[in-house]
């Protein structure tokens, strides 16, 4: 039985490519309509794991998934980074001069805007709900006057020809994904830990919360704030640090942090990969 | 001559209501298609000021405007907070039982989802590009089978009847706006300062940058990170603190900060209002 991994989007989505990068090819990718759907399926045991994008190096954090990590009681068990290389693809046999429209997710279109203008100055841009979904649409509707911007994996799945590989304007386009599961793990080797906490709104509170790590030479790799619903201009802080909660210096830092926070939850310790 | 204030959206947008809250009623509101358009018009001198939303207490930061603050060379000269009170409105004479569809910006629809389900269990939800724009559409197309969710100001401008005031599910819905202008000001009374900076990616760098404020008992009210384009997992930090750059303890903190940062810009000191 192959391990089932839930991801958001159609078959061929960048999330699916990231799942294969992390788990290898022997998985059963389970497409989900929404990020919430992934959390539901992992919680209910329909799938072993889920994969969620949390940050893109150009666009920033995907806040929805931070909110869902807080709402559901799952653990982060891994991370993986994928380079987002956009491929311009058409149905086999279609020539560049036949292309009247280019379909993709608005972000896919935006990230290829320079290439589109250079190669196809008069083309119509069509927004789709999904990058892979736009390739699927071209295949299902046999559209010979259109191209899609999607992943290499989408080109394979929907049997499309790539006519412009790596069509994106900026090659420094990476997305970081987290693997979520019902059971926490105890990582071996170099680890990372993700936590979320809230504090009473006192002057210097954030500084004090960061001091518990600085005092122990624990390196922070990410900090993110999200509004605390119902409490105006107060925040949850999401923080990643190097180390595992099972190591004594990190364990002590978390105990110390508990003294200065009104809420604290460890989302998981997992092998460092980014 | 009335002062011209650029805002994003149609006449009656929440941004326009915030401009009236800040400047009073004697202004000439100038609607803009995009946030970028606001920055362009202020830069070119077509308008004296612009007003931009930067943070909502439920949805979080509007990152696009942080990116634009960095790209354009304008100064923050004020801030104002507006409670987002959504009004359900119809053309005069339309009865609740005639309503088959409710139109608004997707966020307006989402923030009234509970009220919609309770009062109109079978209604169709129609996404529009703008809250005020949906009221305008009802007026222009004389739609008697639809309602719009928009501001009280939109109801006045488009002469609509409010049939459900304060229709939002959560009343703790506030947006913080900034006023931008070509010329920096020297605020009197209690002030706030907004800065943006970047650091080399060294362990503890963020902690050190915050220490320059903590050591001088300067209170931080907001910290926000945005990806540094082209440098994977490095960030610009946007930070607000209490005090004016013209006060010596803040001036010293900024000088101290300069030692630990690779980039530092003061976006403005302005009277504190939130």
Instruction: Name the pairing type of β-strands A75-83 and A174-181.
Output: antiparallel
Q: Which residue is it, tokens 């925040």?
A: A235
**Residues B207 and B248 both lie in one domain:** yes
The domain in which residue A207 lies consists of 191-271
Q: Calculate how close chain A gets to B229, using CA atoms only, in Å.
A: 6
**Residues A103 and A155 both lie in one domain:** yes
The shortest CB-CB distance from A174 to any of B57, B170, B232 is to B232
- For residue A107, being part of any structural domain is answered with yes
Residue B121 at interface with chain A, using a CB cutoff of 8 Å: no
> pLDDT at position A23, please?
97
Q: Which residue is it, tokens 């409710």?
A: B102
B177 is catalytic: yes
Please identify among residues 67-86 of chain B the ones whose CB lies closer than 8 Å to any CB of chain A.
none
Question: What string of pLDDT tens digits covers the 274 residues of chain A?
Answer: 899 999 999 999 999 999 999 999 999 999 999 999 999 999 999 999 999 999 988 888 888 899 999 999 999 999 999 999 999 999 999 999 999 999 999 889 989 999 999 999 999 998 888 899 999 999 999 999 999 999 999 999 999 999 999 999 999 899 999 999 999 999 999 999 999 999 987 778 888 999 999 999 999 988 888 888 777 888 899 999 999 999 999 999 999 999 999 999 999 999 999 8
Catalytic hit among B175, B193, B260, B261 = B175
Q: Calculate how close chain A gets to B191, using CA atoms only, in Å.
A: 16
Q: Is the Cβ–Cβ distance between A197 and A187 less than 8 Å?
A: no
- For residue A141, being part of any structural domain is answered with yes
> pLDDT at position B201, please?
73
- For residue A72, being part of any structural domain is answered with yes
B175 is catalytic: yes
- For residue B226, being part of any structural domain is answered with yes
> Got the DSSP string for B221-234?
EEEEEEE-TTSTT-
For residue B232 the two structure tokens come to 């994977």
Beta bridge partners of B161: B90
A225 and B221: CB-CB below 8 Å?
Answer: no
B206 and A204: CB-CB below 8 Å?
Answer: no
Is A46 strand, coil or helix? coil
* Residue B210 to residue B223: CA distance in whole angstroms: 10
**Residues B177 and B43 both lie in one domain:** yes
Q: Calculate how close chain B gets to A153, using CA atoms only, in Å.
A: 23
Q: Which residues of B touch A203 (CB under 8 A)?
A: 217, 219
CA B207, chain centre distance (Å): 28
**Residues A45 and A105 both lie in one domain:** no
Out of A120, A150, A181, a domain closes at: A181
The shortest CB-CB distance from B232 to any of A63, A172, A211 is to A172
Instruction: Residue B232: give its domain's CATH number.
Output: 3.30.70.260
Question: Number of CB pairs < 8 Å for A and B?
Answer: 83
Q: Which residues of B touch A274 (CB under 8 A)?
A: 233
A206 and B210: CB-CB below 8 Å?
Answer: yes
The shortest CB-CB distance from B210 to any of A56, A59, A210 is to A210
**Residues B69 and B203 both lie in one domain:** no
Interface predicted TM-score of the whole assembly (ipTM), two decimals:
0.77
The shortest CB-CB distance from A226 to any of B60, B217, B219 is to B60
What's the Cα-to-Cα distance from A167 to each of A84, A125, A139, B50, rounded to whole Å? 10, 15, 20, 36
Q: Which residues of A touch B224 (CB under 8 A)?
A: 225
**Residues B71 and B99 both lie in one domain:** no
**Residues A33 and A105 both lie in one domain:** no
Instruction: Residue A9: give its domain's CATH number.
Output: 3.40.190.10
**Number of folded domains that form chain A:** 3
Residue A200 at interface with chain B, using a CB cutoff of 8 Å: no
**Residues B99 and B74 both lie in one domain:** no
**Residues B213 and B156 both lie in one domain:** no
Instruction: Name the pairing type of β-strands A27-32 and A235-242.
Output: unpaired
**Residues B213 and B105 both lie in one domain:** no
pTM above 0.90?
A: no
* Residue A274 to residue B21: CA distance in whole angstroms: 46
> pLDDT at position B228, please?
84
Q: Which residues of B touch A233 (CB under 8 A)?
A: 55, 57, 174, 176, 221-222, 274
| Interface test mutation site (partner B, options A64, A217, A225, A234, max chain B beta carbons within 10 A) | A225
Element (H, E) at B28: strand B27-32
Q: Calculate how close chain A gets to B57, using CA atoms only, in Å.
A: 6
Q: Where are the beta strands (DSSP E) in chain A?
A: 3-8, 27-32, 49-56, 60-61, 75-83, 87-90, 101-104, 124-127, 146-150, 161-164, 174-181, 191-198, 220-227, 235-242, 263-271
The shortest CB-CB distance from B214 to any of A55, A172, A207 is to A207
Q: Is the Cβ–Cβ distance between B135 and B148 less than 8 Å?
A: yes
- For residue B186, being part of any structural domain is answered with no
Consecutive sets of 10 residues in chain B, 274 residues long: mean pLDDT of each? 94 97 96 95 98 91 91 97 97 96 91 94 89 96 97 97 96 95 96 94 83 93 84 87 97 96 96 91
- For residue A186, being part of any structural domain is answered with no
Q: Calculate how close chain A gets to B84, using CA atoms only, in Å.
A: 13
Residue A215 at interface with chain B, using a CB cutoff of 8 Å: no
- For residue B264, being part of any structural domain is answered with yes
* Residue A70 to residue B60: CA distance in whole angstroms: 15
* Residue B95 to residue B99: CA distance in whole angstroms: 7
Q: Which residue is it, tokens 């650029």?
A: B6
Q: Which residue is it, tokens 């935006």?
A: A110
Q: Which residue is it, tokens 């304008």?
A: B74
**Residues A156 and A210 both lie in one domain:** no
B86-105 tens-digit pLDDT: 999 999 999 999 999 999 99
- For residue A74, being part of any structural domain is answered with yes
Q: Which residues of A touch B176 (CB under 8 A)?
A: 233
**Residues A77 and A101 both lie in one domain:** no
| Interface test mutation site (partner B, options A227, A231, A239, A257, max chain B beta carbons within 10 A) | A227
A57 and B232: CB-CB below 8 Å?
Answer: yes
B178-230 tens-digit pLDDT: 999 999 999 999 999 999 999 987 778 888 999 999 999 999 988 888 888 77
């Amino acid at each position: 039985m192959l391990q089932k991994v839930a991801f958001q989007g159609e078959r061929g989505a960048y999330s699916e490519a990231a799942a294969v990068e992390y788990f290898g090819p022997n998985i059963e990718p389970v497409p989900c309509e929404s990020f919430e759907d992934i959390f539901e399926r992992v919680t209910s045991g329909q799938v072993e794991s889920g994969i969620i994008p949390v940050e893109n190096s150009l666009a920033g954090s995907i806040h929805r998934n931070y909110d869902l990590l807080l709402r559901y009681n799952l653990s982060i068990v891994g991370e993986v980074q994928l380079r987002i290389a956009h491929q311009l693809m058409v149905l086999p046999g279609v020539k560049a001069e036949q292309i009247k429209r280019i379909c993709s997710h608005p972000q896919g279109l935006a990230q290829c805007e320079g290439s589109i203008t250079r190669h196809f100055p008069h083309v119509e841009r069509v927004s789709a709900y999904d990058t892979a979904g736009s390739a699927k649409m071209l295949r299902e509707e046999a559209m010979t006057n259109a191209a899609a911007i999607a992943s290499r994996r989408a080109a394979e799945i929907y049997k499309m020809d790539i006519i412009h590989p790596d069509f994106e304007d900026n090659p420094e386009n990476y997305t970081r994904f987290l693997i979520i599961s019902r059971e926490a793990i105890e990582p071996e080797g170099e680890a990372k830990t993700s936590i979320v906490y809230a504090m009473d709104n006192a002057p210097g509170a954030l500084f004090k919360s960061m001091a518990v790590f600085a005092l122990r030479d624990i390196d922070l790799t990410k900090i993110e704030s999200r509004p605390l619903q119902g409490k105006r201009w107060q925040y949850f802080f999401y923080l990643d640090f190097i180390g595992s909660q099972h190591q004594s210096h990190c364990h002590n830092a978390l105990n110390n942090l508990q003294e200065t926070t009104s809420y604290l939850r460890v989302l998981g310790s997992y092998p460092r990969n980014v």
